């Protein structure tokens, strides 16, 4: 699988935050063209996704640690270099110690079509919308009265990962939905899939 490491994929104004709901922020992250190239690559290697949804809390995922450590680090560096200043402005006490490995998520035919209401275990969660050629599949935050239906392709959302921001993914009724998920560590971790901030300097 070919993964592009050129910095040309970083969107203009990456790190310029807009508050779309209470403590949920959007920013351009990747260019739409790069997202389209990623979708082509992901569609060419469907066997890389691991399907697991027995309890309704998981979907078909591709953990980037198993694919490209370099790409995982590139993504986390982009968060730290481009987005951290705005994150610190809106969450002044934030202290990011590291990240779990970024992973792609897929919903659609042959996969989980939704995800039940849940909250994350991250300190801050990030999602990048990679495509919009599907029906349904909105990411919904009931307490904040927000869904990401109108979020442009390539844009990221950031939000506090724990009990204040429960969220769910509604049924994908047509097509296939792809997204990227990144979690920052809630506490110091030493997981084999972890990326401590020291590796990003």
Looking at residue 39, its pLDDT comes to 93
> How many CB atoms within 10 Å of residue 19?
10
Using one digit for the tens of pLDDT, what is the confidence trace for 171-200?
999 999 999 999 999 888 776 668 999 888
Looking at residue 56, its pLDDT comes to 56
Using one digit for the tens of pLDDT, what is the confidence trace for 126-161?
999 999 999 999 999 999 999 999 999 999 999 999
The span from the CA of 129 to the CA of 151, in Å, is 7
* Mean predicted lDDT score pLDDT of the chain: 90
Residue 3 has pLDDT above 90, yes or no: no
Domain 7-200 CATH superfamily: q2cbj1_9rhob like domain (2.60.120.620)
Domain residue limits, the chain: 7-200
Q: 45-54, 100-109, 151-160, 168-177 — which is least confidently predicted?
A: 45-54
**For the residues 28-33, what does the mean pLDDT come to?**
97
Query: Can you spell out the DSSP letters for 24-37?
Result: EEEEE-B-HHHHHH
**For the residues 56-66, what does the mean pLDDT come to?**
78
Residue 108 has pLDDT above 90, yes or no: no
The span from the CA of 60 to the CA of 113, in Å, is 10
Q: Is the dihedral of CA 112, 117, 123, 128 positive or negative?
A: positive
Residue 120 has pLDDT above 60, yes or no: yes
């Amino acid at each position: 699988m070919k993964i592009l490491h050129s910095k040309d994929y970083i969107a203009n104004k990456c790190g310029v935050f807009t508050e779309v709901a209470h403590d949920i922020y959007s920013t351009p992250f990747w260019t739409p063209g790069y997202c389209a190239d990623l979708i082509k690559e992901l569609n060419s290697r469907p066997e890389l996704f691991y399907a697991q949804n027995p309890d309704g809390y998981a979907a078909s995922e591709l953990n980037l640690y198993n694919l490209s450590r370099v790409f995982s680090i590139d993504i986390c560096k982009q968060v730290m270099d481009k987005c951290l200043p705005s994150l610190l402005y809106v969450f002044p006490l934030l202290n990011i110690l590291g990240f779990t490995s970024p992973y792609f998520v897929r919903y659609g035919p042959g996969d989980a079509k939704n995800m039940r209401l849940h909250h994350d275990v991250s300190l801050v969660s990030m999602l990048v919308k990679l495509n919009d050629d599907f029906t349904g599949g909105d990411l919904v935050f009931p307490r904040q009265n927000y869904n990401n239906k109108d979020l442009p392709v390539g844009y990221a959302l950031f939000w506090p990962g724990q009990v204040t921001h429960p969220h769910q993914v509604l049924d994908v009724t047509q097509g296939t939905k792809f997204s990227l998920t990144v979690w920052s560590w809630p506490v110091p971790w030493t997981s084999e899939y972890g990326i401590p901030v020291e590796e990003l300097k």
